[in-house]
Amino acid sequence: MAMAGQEMPVHAVEATDPDGDALTVTMDAQGLWVTCTSGADEVTLGPFPAEAMAEALSDLMAASRTV
């Protein structure tokens, strides 16, 4: 937890497919941001609450195990 007057550090992870398209997930004090990049095109969505995104990904992983 950040102290008053301190900013939360920004953390990011990125995955790139064989064509060079990238998916970047960034977390800051506002929440999670999802950025998709393909060539010169870029779309960013967010912020999403981190807990809601973690739950959604957990649900997706659980559903994929039942297929």
Q: Report the C-alpha gap between 18 and 1 in whole angstroms.
A: 37
pLDDT at 66: 83
pTM of model > 0.85: no
Q: What is the pLDDT of residues 10-56, one digit of tens each?
A: 999 999 999 999 999 999 999 999 999 999 999 999 999 999 999 99
Residue-wise over 32-56: b if at least 16 C-beta within 10 A, else e? bbebebeeeeeeeebbbeeeebeee
Residue 51 falls in which region: left (phi positive, over 0), alpha (psi -120 to 50) or beta: alpha
* Count of beta carbons in the 10 Å neighbourhood of residue 31: 15
**CB distance 33 to 47 below 8 Å:** yes
